Amino acid sequence: MIEARVDFTAMIGHTPLVRLRRASEATGCEIFGKAEWLNPGGSIKDRTALGLLSDAEARGLIRRGGTIVEGTAGNTGIGLALLGASRGYPSIIVMPNSQSAEKVEALRLTGAEVRLVPPAKFADPAHYVHFAQALAEEANARDPGSAWFANQFDNTANRDFHAATTAVEIWDQTGGAVDGFVCSAGTGGTLAGVAVELKARKPGVRIALADPTGSALANFVNHGELLAEGNSITEGIGSSRVTANLQDAKVDVAYSIPDTESVPLLHQLLAIEGMGLGGSSGVNIAGAIRLAQELGPGHVVVTVLADAGARYAKKLFNPAFLHAKEIPVPEWLERAFAP
Protein backbone atom coordinates (compact mmCIF):
# COMPACT_ATOMS: atom_id res chain seq x y z
CA MET A 1 0.00 0.00 0.00
CA ILE A 2 1.42 3.33 -1.04
CA GLU A 3 0.07 6.31 0.84
CA ALA A 4 0.64 9.51 -1.12
CA ARG A 5 -0.91 12.77 -2.26
CA VAL A 6 -1.18 12.61 -6.02
CA ASP A 7 0.12 16.08 -6.93
CA PHE A 8 0.60 19.73 -5.93
CA THR A 9 -3.15 20.39 -5.87
CA ALA A 10 -3.74 17.58 -3.41
CA MET A 11 -1.18 19.14 -1.05
CA ILE A 12 -3.22 22.34 -0.68
CA GLY A 13 -5.40 22.84 2.39
CA HIS A 14 -6.41 20.31 5.07
CA THR A 15 -3.96 22.11 7.35
CA PRO A 16 -3.81 21.32 11.06
CA LEU A 17 -5.28 23.56 13.72
CA VAL A 18 -2.67 24.27 16.38
CA ARG A 19 -3.39 25.49 19.91
CA LEU A 20 -1.65 28.77 20.70
CA ARG A 21 -0.57 28.07 24.25
CA ARG A 22 0.43 31.46 25.54
CA ALA A 23 -2.47 33.32 23.94
CA SER A 24 -4.88 30.72 25.36
CA GLU A 25 -3.40 30.88 28.86
CA ALA A 26 -3.36 34.68 28.84
CA THR A 27 -7.07 34.93 27.98
CA GLY A 28 -8.66 31.83 29.52
CA CYS A 29 -9.95 30.95 26.06
CA GLU A 30 -8.86 28.20 23.72
CA ILE A 31 -7.15 30.00 20.84
CA PHE A 32 -6.20 28.03 17.75
CA GLY A 33 -4.28 28.92 14.62
CA LYS A 34 -4.89 27.34 11.23
CA ALA A 35 -1.39 26.32 10.13
CA GLU A 36 -1.56 27.70 6.61
CA TRP A 37 2.18 28.14 6.27
CA LEU A 38 2.30 24.36 5.79
CA ASN A 39 0.68 24.66 2.35
CA PRO A 40 3.03 23.55 -0.48
CA GLY A 41 3.73 27.11 -1.67
CA GLY A 42 4.18 28.24 1.93
CA SER A 43 1.05 30.30 2.51
CA ILE A 44 -2.72 30.46 2.73
CA LYS A 45 -2.70 31.97 -0.74
CA ASP A 46 -2.20 28.52 -2.28
CA ARG A 47 -5.90 28.08 -1.53
CA THR A 48 -6.74 31.30 -3.33
CA ALA A 49 -4.64 30.24 -6.31
CA LEU A 50 -6.44 26.89 -6.48
CA GLY A 51 -9.87 28.50 -6.06
CA LEU A 52 -9.27 31.05 -8.80
CA LEU A 53 -7.65 28.67 -11.29
CA SER A 54 -10.19 25.87 -10.80
CA ASP A 55 -13.01 28.35 -11.37
CA ALA A 56 -11.34 29.70 -14.53
CA GLU A 57 -10.82 26.18 -15.86
CA ALA A 58 -14.41 25.18 -15.11
CA ARG A 59 -15.73 28.27 -16.86
CA GLY A 60 -13.39 27.97 -19.84
CA LEU A 61 -11.61 31.24 -19.08
CA ILE A 62 -8.12 29.79 -19.48
CA ARG A 63 -7.09 27.64 -22.40
CA ARG A 64 -4.68 24.71 -22.33
CA GLY A 65 -1.16 26.10 -21.89
CA GLY A 66 -2.51 29.65 -21.51
CA THR A 67 -0.61 32.21 -19.46
CA ILE A 68 -1.63 33.07 -15.90
CA VAL A 69 -1.23 36.80 -15.19
CA GLU A 70 -1.65 38.27 -11.72
CA GLY A 71 -0.80 41.24 -9.52
CA THR A 72 0.21 40.20 -6.01
CA ALA A 73 2.07 41.11 -2.84
CA GLY A 74 3.86 37.82 -3.50
CA ASN A 75 2.16 34.82 -1.96
CA THR A 76 -0.70 34.49 -4.45
CA GLY A 77 1.87 34.74 -7.22
CA ILE A 78 3.93 31.96 -5.67
CA GLY A 79 0.83 29.77 -5.33
CA LEU A 80 -0.39 30.47 -8.86
CA ALA A 81 3.02 29.95 -10.44
CA LEU A 82 3.61 26.61 -8.70
CA LEU A 83 0.08 25.38 -9.30
CA GLY A 84 0.35 26.62 -12.89
CA ALA A 85 3.60 24.72 -13.35
CA SER A 86 1.90 21.57 -12.14
CA ARG A 87 -0.88 22.02 -14.72
CA GLY A 88 1.09 23.30 -17.71
CA TYR A 89 0.38 27.04 -17.50
CA PRO A 90 3.25 29.57 -17.51
CA SER A 91 2.85 32.65 -15.27
CA ILE A 92 3.62 36.34 -15.42
CA ILE A 93 3.51 37.86 -11.95
CA VAL A 94 3.51 41.59 -11.19
CA MET A 95 4.55 42.69 -7.72
CA PRO A 96 5.32 46.05 -6.07
CA ASN A 97 9.05 46.43 -5.36
CA SER A 98 8.31 47.31 -1.73
CA GLN A 99 7.83 43.66 -0.74
CA SER A 100 10.40 41.52 1.05
CA ALA A 101 13.44 40.30 -0.90
CA GLU A 102 12.78 36.79 0.36
CA LYS A 103 9.31 36.75 -1.24
CA VAL A 104 10.66 38.07 -4.54
CA GLU A 105 13.30 35.33 -4.48
CA ALA A 106 10.72 32.64 -3.70
CA LEU A 107 8.64 33.91 -6.59
CA ARG A 108 11.60 33.91 -9.00
CA LEU A 109 12.37 30.32 -7.97
CA THR A 110 8.94 29.23 -9.21
CA GLY A 111 10.09 29.94 -12.75
CA ALA A 112 7.46 32.65 -13.22
CA GLU A 113 8.28 35.77 -15.19
CA VAL A 114 8.47 38.38 -12.42
CA ARG A 115 7.76 42.06 -13.09
CA LEU A 116 8.58 44.39 -10.20
CA VAL A 117 6.89 47.80 -10.32
CA PRO A 118 7.11 50.85 -8.04
CA PRO A 119 4.35 51.13 -5.40
CA ALA A 120 1.43 53.33 -6.54
CA LYS A 121 -2.03 54.26 -5.27
CA PHE A 122 -4.88 52.05 -6.48
CA ALA A 123 -6.33 54.95 -8.51
CA ASP A 124 -3.06 55.15 -10.49
CA PRO A 125 -2.97 53.03 -13.71
CA ALA A 126 0.61 52.12 -12.73
CA HIS A 127 -0.67 50.25 -9.62
CA TYR A 128 0.53 46.64 -9.80
CA VAL A 129 -3.00 45.22 -10.15
CA HIS A 130 -3.84 47.48 -13.13
CA PHE A 131 -0.39 46.83 -14.58
CA ALA A 132 -1.07 43.08 -14.49
CA GLN A 133 -4.53 43.46 -15.99
CA ALA A 134 -3.11 45.59 -18.81
CA LEU A 135 -0.45 42.96 -19.55
CA ALA A 136 -3.16 40.31 -19.85
CA GLU A 137 -5.27 42.56 -22.10
CA GLU A 138 -2.28 43.29 -24.36
CA ALA A 139 -1.53 39.58 -24.68
CA ASN A 140 -5.15 38.85 -25.52
CA ALA A 141 -5.23 41.65 -28.09
CA ARG A 142 -2.26 39.99 -29.83
CA ASP A 143 -3.48 36.44 -29.40
CA PRO A 144 -7.09 36.17 -28.18
CA GLY A 145 -7.54 33.82 -25.21
CA SER A 146 -3.79 33.45 -24.60
CA ALA A 147 -3.80 35.04 -21.12
CA TRP A 148 -5.99 34.86 -18.03
CA PHE A 149 -5.99 37.63 -15.43
CA ALA A 150 -6.64 35.93 -12.08
CA ASN A 151 -7.85 39.14 -10.37
CA GLN A 152 -7.71 37.84 -6.77
CA PHE A 153 -9.00 41.12 -5.26
CA ASP A 154 -12.25 41.36 -7.21
CA ASN A 155 -12.81 37.79 -8.38
CA THR A 156 -15.16 36.31 -5.78
CA ALA A 157 -14.12 32.75 -6.62
CA ASN A 158 -11.47 33.64 -4.02
CA ARG A 159 -13.85 34.01 -1.07
CA ASP A 160 -16.06 31.16 -2.33
CA PHE A 161 -13.10 28.79 -2.09
CA HIS A 162 -12.35 29.86 1.50
CA ALA A 163 -16.03 29.30 2.36
CA ALA A 164 -15.87 25.83 0.83
CA THR A 165 -12.53 24.77 2.32
CA THR A 166 -11.01 26.97 5.07
CA ALA A 167 -14.32 27.53 6.86
CA VAL A 168 -15.51 23.94 6.57
CA GLU A 169 -12.18 22.65 7.91
CA ILE A 170 -12.37 25.04 10.89
CA TRP A 171 -15.92 23.89 11.57
CA ASP A 172 -15.01 20.21 11.38
CA GLN A 173 -11.77 20.57 13.34
CA THR A 174 -13.52 22.35 16.22
CA GLY A 175 -16.55 20.08 16.07
CA GLY A 176 -18.65 23.22 15.60
CA ALA A 177 -17.42 24.67 18.92
CA VAL A 178 -15.88 27.77 17.32
CA ASP A 179 -17.22 30.94 19.00
CA GLY A 180 -15.11 33.51 17.20
CA PHE A 181 -12.96 33.85 14.09
CA VAL A 182 -10.55 36.66 13.38
CA CYS A 183 -8.05 37.45 10.64
CA SER A 184 -6.59 40.29 8.63
CA ALA A 185 -7.65 41.13 5.09
CA GLY A 186 -5.67 41.77 1.92
CA THR A 187 -8.13 40.74 -0.75
CA GLY A 188 -10.56 39.90 2.06
CA GLY A 189 -11.14 36.45 0.57
CA THR A 190 -10.21 34.57 3.73
CA LEU A 191 -12.21 36.78 6.09
CA ALA A 192 -15.34 37.08 3.95
CA GLY A 193 -15.36 33.43 2.90
CA VAL A 194 -14.89 32.04 6.40
CA ALA A 195 -17.41 34.55 7.79
CA VAL A 196 -20.23 33.66 5.43
CA GLU A 197 -19.87 29.91 5.94
CA LEU A 198 -19.44 29.94 9.72
CA LYS A 199 -22.37 32.36 10.16
CA ALA A 200 -24.55 30.09 8.01
CA ARG A 201 -23.75 27.21 10.34
CA LYS A 202 -23.80 29.18 13.61
CA PRO A 203 -25.39 32.64 13.39
CA GLY A 204 -24.00 33.68 16.79
CA VAL A 205 -20.36 33.19 15.83
CA ARG A 206 -18.41 36.45 16.20
CA ILE A 207 -16.30 37.50 13.22
CA ALA A 208 -13.57 40.10 13.63
CA LEU A 209 -11.14 41.85 11.32
CA ALA A 210 -7.58 42.33 12.59
CA ASP A 211 -6.28 45.28 10.62
CA PRO A 212 -2.73 46.66 10.62
CA THR A 213 -2.40 50.38 11.32
CA GLY A 214 -2.21 52.25 8.02
CA SER A 215 -5.17 50.31 6.60
CA ALA A 216 -8.56 51.96 6.10
CA LEU A 217 -10.61 48.83 6.71
CA ALA A 218 -10.92 48.82 10.51
CA ASN A 219 -12.54 52.23 10.50
CA PHE A 220 -14.81 51.09 7.66
CA VAL A 221 -16.03 48.07 9.64
CA ASN A 222 -16.51 50.01 12.88
CA HIS A 223 -17.76 53.36 11.55
CA GLY A 224 -18.67 52.87 7.88
CA GLU A 225 -15.96 55.16 6.53
CA LEU A 226 -12.64 54.27 4.85
CA LEU A 227 -10.07 56.10 6.94
CA ALA A 228 -6.41 55.23 7.54
CA GLU A 229 -3.94 56.36 10.17
CA GLY A 230 -0.33 55.37 10.77
CA ASN A 231 1.60 52.68 8.93
CA SER A 232 2.90 49.12 9.26
CA ILE A 233 5.79 46.92 8.19
CA THR A 234 3.40 44.01 7.60
CA GLU A 235 2.88 42.85 4.00
CA GLY A 236 -0.06 41.49 2.04
CA ILE A 237 -2.71 42.84 4.39
CA GLY A 238 -4.62 46.06 4.89
CA SER A 239 -6.42 48.00 2.16
CA SER A 240 -7.53 51.44 1.10
CA ARG A 241 -10.69 50.11 -0.54
CA VAL A 242 -13.51 47.58 -0.21
CA THR A 243 -12.76 44.84 -2.74
CA ALA A 244 -15.49 42.76 -4.37
CA ASN A 245 -14.46 39.92 -2.05
CA LEU A 246 -15.04 42.15 0.99
CA GLN A 247 -18.32 43.60 -0.26
CA ASP A 248 -21.08 42.91 2.30
CA ALA A 249 -18.75 40.66 4.32
CA LYS A 250 -20.34 39.56 7.59
CA VAL A 251 -17.84 41.18 9.95
CA ASP A 252 -18.97 42.22 13.45
CA VAL A 253 -16.02 44.23 14.69
CA ALA A 254 -12.51 45.33 13.72
CA TYR A 255 -9.32 45.89 15.72
CA SER A 256 -6.56 48.18 14.56
CA ILE A 257 -3.25 46.51 15.44
CA PRO A 258 0.05 48.43 15.59
CA ASP A 259 3.36 46.70 14.77
CA THR A 260 4.47 47.27 18.37
CA GLU A 261 1.67 44.88 19.41
CA SER A 262 1.90 42.27 16.64
CA VAL A 263 5.63 41.84 16.05
CA PRO A 264 6.55 41.04 19.71
CA LEU A 265 3.90 38.29 19.59
CA LEU A 266 5.80 36.74 16.67
CA HIS A 267 9.08 36.83 18.58
CA GLN A 268 7.43 35.30 21.62
CA LEU A 269 5.72 32.59 19.58
CA LEU A 270 9.03 31.53 18.07
CA ALA A 271 10.89 31.62 21.40
CA ILE A 272 8.39 29.67 23.47
CA GLU A 273 6.20 27.73 21.04
CA GLY A 274 8.63 26.99 18.22
CA MET A 275 6.67 28.60 15.40
CA GLY A 276 8.31 31.25 13.22
CA LEU A 277 5.59 33.14 11.38
CA GLY A 278 5.13 36.15 9.11
CA GLY A 279 3.77 39.60 9.91
CA SER A 280 0.12 38.99 9.10
CA SER A 281 0.11 36.08 11.55
CA GLY A 282 1.25 38.47 14.30
CA VAL A 283 -1.64 40.79 13.48
CA ASN A 284 -3.99 37.80 13.47
CA ILE A 285 -2.80 36.52 16.86
CA ALA A 286 -3.09 40.01 18.34
CA GLY A 287 -6.63 40.10 16.97
CA ALA A 288 -7.38 36.67 18.44
CA ILE A 289 -6.25 37.85 21.88
CA ARG A 290 -8.45 40.94 21.63
CA LEU A 291 -11.44 38.89 20.46
CA ALA A 292 -10.90 36.37 23.28
CA GLN A 293 -10.78 39.22 25.81
CA GLU A 294 -14.00 40.61 24.38
CA LEU A 295 -15.80 37.22 24.47
CA GLY A 296 -14.48 36.37 27.94
CA PRO A 297 -12.92 33.14 29.31
CA GLY A 298 -14.11 29.74 28.12
CA HIS A 299 -14.58 30.52 24.45
CA VAL A 300 -13.03 28.96 21.35
CA VAL A 301 -11.33 31.42 19.02
CA VAL A 302 -9.71 30.57 15.68
CA THR A 303 -7.32 32.57 13.55
CA VAL A 304 -4.95 32.04 10.64
CA LEU A 305 -1.19 31.48 10.64
CA ALA A 306 -0.77 32.64 7.04
CA ASP A 307 2.90 32.19 6.17
CA ALA A 308 6.35 31.64 7.67
CA GLY A 309 8.73 34.18 9.19
CA ALA A 310 11.56 33.12 6.89
CA ARG A 311 9.74 34.98 4.12
CA TYR A 312 10.48 38.24 6.03
CA ALA A 313 13.61 37.35 8.02
CA LYS A 314 15.52 40.51 7.07
CA LYS A 315 12.69 42.63 8.48
CA LEU A 316 10.79 40.84 11.25
CA PHE A 317 13.78 39.05 12.75
CA ASN A 318 16.45 41.69 12.09
CA PRO A 319 17.37 43.74 15.20
CA ALA A 320 18.74 46.69 13.20
CA PHE A 321 15.59 46.97 11.09
CA LEU A 322 13.33 46.63 14.14
CA HIS A 323 15.26 49.27 16.11
CA ALA A 324 14.87 51.69 13.21
CA LYS A 325 11.10 51.09 13.36
CA GLU A 326 11.03 51.45 17.17
CA ILE A 327 9.74 47.92 17.61
CA PRO A 328 11.03 46.13 20.74
CA VAL A 329 13.70 43.47 20.17
CA PRO A 330 13.93 40.53 22.61
CA GLU A 331 17.30 39.79 24.15
CA TRP A 332 17.63 36.39 22.48
CA LEU A 333 17.24 38.01 19.08
CA GLU A 334 19.83 40.71 19.88
CA ARG A 335 22.22 37.94 21.00
CA ALA A 336 21.62 35.89 17.87
CA PHE A 337 22.99 38.76 15.78
CA ALA A 338 25.67 40.00 18.19
CA PRO A 339 29.08 40.40 16.46
Based on the shown chain and the rule CB under 6 A, indicate whether residue 96 belongs to the binding site for ligand PMP. no
The amino acid sitting at 83 is L
Question: Active site residue: 34, 45, 103, 315, which one?
Answer: 45
Site for ligand PMP in 26-65 (CB under 6 A): 43, 45
Instruction: Answer yes or no: are the C-beta atoms of 147 and 265 closer than 8 Å.
Output: no
Nearest to ligand PMP of 45, 290 (CB atom): 45
Based on the shown chain and the rule CB under 6 A, indicate whether residue 280 belongs to the binding site for ligand PMP. yes
Q: Burial letters for 217-249: b for 16+ Cβ neighbours within 10 Å, e otherwise?
A: bbbbbbeeeeebeeebbbbbbbbeebbbbbeeb
HSE of 301 in the Cβ direction (CA atoms, 13 Å)?
33
Nearest to ligand PMP of 70, 307 (CB atom): 307
Based on the shown chain and the rule CB under 6 A, indicate whether residue 178 belongs to the binding site for ligand PMP. no
Based on the shown chain and the rule CB under 6 A, indicate whether residue 303 belongs to the binding site for ligand PMP. no
Based on the shown chain and the rule CB under 6 A, indicate whether residue 186 belongs to the binding site for ligand PMP. yes
Among 184, 213, 232, 262, binds ligand PMP (CB under 6 A): 184
* Cα separations in angstroms, 338 against 34, 263, 276, 314, 320: 34, 20, 20, 15, 11
Stretch that binds ligand PMP, among 26-34, 62-70, 184-192, 213-221 (CB under 6 A): 184-192
For residue 73, count CB atoms less than 10 angstroms from its CB and return exposed for 0-12, middle for 13-18, buried for 19 or more. Answer: buried
Q: What CA–CA distance (Å, rounded) separates 179 from 188?
A: 20
| Least Cβ distance, residue 185 to ligand PMP (angstroms) | 4
**Active-site residue 314, yes or no?**
no
Residue 269's contacts (CB-CB under 8 Å, 6 or more residues apart) are: 20, 22, 275, 276, 277, 285
| Least Cβ distance, residue 210 to ligand PMP (angstroms) | 10
Q: What CA–CA distance (Å, rounded) separates 8 from 80?
A: 11
Going by C-alpha positions, the residue among 320, 314, 324, 313 that lies closest to residue 334 is 320
| Least Cβ distance, residue 229 to ligand PMP (angstroms) | 20
Nearest to ligand PMP of 64, 121 (CB atom): 121
Nearest to ligand PMP of 135, 194 (CB atom): 194
Site for ligand PMP in 202-261 (CB under 6 A): 236-237
Bridging pattern class, strands 17-19 and 30-35: antiparallel
Based on the shown chain and the rule CB under 6 A, indicate whether residue 189 belongs to the binding site for ligand PMP. yes
Nearest to ligand PMP of 37, 171 (CB atom): 37
* Residues contributing to the site for ligand PMP (CB under 6 A): 43, 45, 73, 75, 184-191, 236-237, 278, 280, 306-307
Could you list the active site residues? 45
